[in-house]
Every structure is written in structure tokens, then in C-alpha cells.
Amino acid sequence: MQGACDHAEQRFEEAGYTAVIAGPKARQQYLGKHGYPHVSDTSLFDVDESAFVGVVCPGGWAPDKLRRLDKVKSLVTQFNESGKLIAAICHGGWVPISAGVYGGVRVTGSLGIKDDLINAGAIFEDSPVVIDRHFVSSRKPDDLPMFMAAVLEVLVHAPSFASKFVEAKLR
């Protein structure tokens, strides 16, 4: 069975992007909520926003841990200020919430964080995928095909993403 990160990485590769998994430590194995292993390519502390076209915040347990890190919040804020892709699925919305970038943004997410999204000033919609400018959000892994189609749509049509460089996923 394929994990959500594997699905996303394949879609990025098919579209000509290189997915970069960033974690607290480089070359560290992290287990997803359902036990799928992923090895980080780099430390998120070494990530420079200017080298990436956007960020995808996956769901599971990672967002609750990552949103506590100042570097993660800073990166998401920088992506927002640059008008670059900020995508979140399931509980991944916790990261943009903690970065303070969801005010007035139409989003969806796991029903478990609906109140958090609303309290952060987001406009919640219970839809498989929501696109609002450079923000893309989805509710759950079952929405992955629509989520990734929307993420790629934003990347292809965003004028500031003239070159296909890399996509960062904070994990």
C-alpha cells in the first residue's frame, strides 16, 4: 500500500518537480501516522525559502510537532509573503495556523481541526479541496488525487513560479 507522501512525490515527479522532504534532522527516518517510513532529504533548519516554489504540509502527527518550531513558522510566513504555494492536507493545516497565515483564507481540513481553522480566522469549507490564491487545502488522504491536481494547478498558473525548481514538504 502506498503512503500519502509517496503519492505526492510521484505526482510531483510526473509534473517535472523534485520533492524535498525536510525534517528536523537531515537523512533521518521518520514514520508516518500509519507506519510508512520516509527519510528526510535535508534539515528544515537548512531550508531557504527562496530555493523552493512552495511547501506542502502533510497530515498525521507531524504538524502538531512541527508547528512548535520557530523555523517552520518562519518558513511558512516567508512562503506566504512571497505568494508561493502553501498546501495542507488533513491536520497539516495546523502549520499555517501556527504561522498566522490563514486569516481570511478559504480552507478545508480534517474535521478534527475545523475549530482551530475558524479560530485562526480562516473561512472553513467542508470540501474535498479548496483553492484560495496560493493556498490549497484538503480534508483527508482520500482527497489526495484532487489535492495534488489542485497543487499542480496552482504551481503551473502562478506567475511567480516561472521556473520549476523544487517543492518542499515539511515533515
Any idea what DSSP says for residue 26?
T
Cβ–Cβ < 8 Å for 152, 15: yes
Cβ–Cβ < 8 Å for 19, 13: yes
Single-letter amino acid, residue 40: S
- By three-state DSSP, how is residue 136 classified? strand
* Cα 90 to Cα 128: distance, rounded to the nearest angstrom: 10
Where is 149: in which H helix or E strand?
helix 144-157
**List 7, 91, 134, 157, catalytic entry:** 91
134 classed as catalytic: no
Q: What is each CA distance from 80 to 75, 96, 117, in whole angstroms?
A: 9, 9, 17
Assigned C-alpha cell, 86 = 502553501
Catalytic residues: 91
